[in-house]
Structure 1
């Protein structure tokens, strides 16, 4: 009985999510029907937005994993882990809008980066960084990398350090022990963090809107535009369904990989 009570909040969350998704799908089919989806999937602008959303989300996730793993490994081995962890998650104390405006100051034509490069004589004219996919990726990595670090850190802290010591005793170098012991055991945390970041990056609105502008839109900003600028709620609803499908397609391989890794670890 106690376990059922513990699962009750999870059941409410799942039910609320399922009902909202079904309501969204039903609304798009009632008001627009299959013709609306056909129109979106044959629109070259929407197809470019879908492709841009997918590859920016994937690149952001990859960079978060590459940059976040060494940081998580450092935190797991550091005796002052709690202090460093506070520094990692401290950006969450500041609004995402404020942080994104900070990147606008840094990446603008008259920002710190371009001003410094011109002052050092490296460039003659400003480099266009702001309002490009590069700026969006930089902003998204900055926003989401703490999630990746925490996911990997939780996996590293669950490892038995004696396994690494055994690997070293058996003659393995630090790199061999990391590659054959530490990294495989931490892969569930990596795939979990990648899934989380991939979902959030695909549906991001504020950072792509401010750093990418109106030219290089992602699907989230396109939906925002349809609702608050064009007032086309039917089209925005269908786009939201497409965003959900895109997110599921992106995350599905990661979830399958995580299941296989957990099965191998349990079997081993």
Structure 2
């Protein structure tokens, strides 16, 4: 009886959250379709929207790839380290600082008189400051800094759940460290890697604060475009349509990752 009561207590808030989620999605569709599908047709042929959409996909995918390349070795180090908790605190320490403050720090670093340009000029690599701020490169750097801890934690969790005896058996059978990593460690950690990639990809696709500060008005992403439509143009119908497009784009980007993850889990289960 007690367990049934606890389950009921869990289902109630879960139901409220799901209802709020679907109510929000339905309201977006209703607002964007208040005058029919004409708005979506206009957005489909709008060159500006096409550029913003392409930039959003490219930056989100690039951020995910960079987070995976940097996050996997770091997660592997944390999973094997005896001082894991200390290193983990250092990894998640950026979460203790406001995202606005962190992004502003990147603005200072990447500015024409920032540390990057002044160092390159002092070394004689460049003669005049490079334009780094308000570029896709700045967006990827800033978003990677924000979302890297999510990738690290996801991969580290998968590595910690792995049976270390499998690696030991591989080495006992004569496999090198690289062969053990390639045939045992990496395949078993792929679900965590794909989970982290999905999380980073979703958040990078809908990011607002970092693209707004590092991309400016020129290199907008879909999230900042929606922000502009709401708070500058006051075109809520267009903003709703763009939000629906953002939702669809995010689902399309993540769907292949989830498909691969499901296949990997089935293969691991069969093995």
Counterparts of 1:120-131 in structure 2, within 5 Å, are: 120-131=123-134
Return the alpha-carbon distance in structure 1 between the equivalents of residues 13 and 76 of structure 2.
Answer: 33
Alpha-carbon distance between aligned partners in 2 of 1:62 and 1:106, rounded to the nearest angstrom: 23
Once the two structures are superposed, residues 141-166 of structure 1 have per-residue CA deviations (whole angstroms, 9 ceiling, x without a partner) of: 00000000000011000001101000
- The answer to whether structure 1 residue 17 and structure 2 residue 21 are counterparts is yes
| Equivalent in the alignment of 2:250 | 247
Contiguous gaps of at least 5 residues in structure 1: none
Q: CA deviation at 1:12?
A: 2.8
- Pick closer, same or farther for the CA change 1:7–1:179 going to 2, 3 Å: farther
Counterparts of 1:116 and 1:245, CA distance in 2 = 42
Distance 1:5 1:180 in 2: 44
Give the SS at the match of 2:37.
Answer: helix
* Residue in 2 that maps onto 1:146: 149
Deviation at 1:5, TM superposition (A): 3.9
1:128-139 aligned within 5 A: 128-139=131-142
How many residues of Structure 1 are paired with residues of Structure 2 in the alignment? Answer: 267
Give the distance between the partners of 2:14 and 2:150, measured in 1 at CA. Answer: 21
Q: Deviations over 1:160-182 (max 9, x none)?
A: 11010000001100000001000
2:31 equivalent to 1:27: yes
Q: Deviations over 1:110-169 (max 9, x none)?
A: 001101111121110001100000000000000000000000011000001101000000
Question: Please, which runs of 5 or more residues in structure 2 have no aligned partner?
Answer: none
Match of 2:98 among 78, 95, 98: 95
**Whole-angstrom CA distance in 2 between matches of 1:27 and 1:125:** 49
Distance 1:221 1:71 in 2: 31
Instruction: Output the aligned Cα RMSD.
Output: 1.0
Aligned partners of 2:12 and 2:67: how far apart in 1? 34
> Whole-Å Cα distance in 2 between the matches of residues 11 and 172 of structure 1?
50
Find 1:167's aligned residue among 167, 170, 189.
170
Q: Distance in 2 between matches of 1:163 and 1:11?
A: 41
Q: Which moved more, 1:189-198 or 1:112-121?
A: 112-121
TM-score, normalised relative to structure 1: 0.97
Which sits farther off after the overlay, 2-11 or 97-106?
2-11
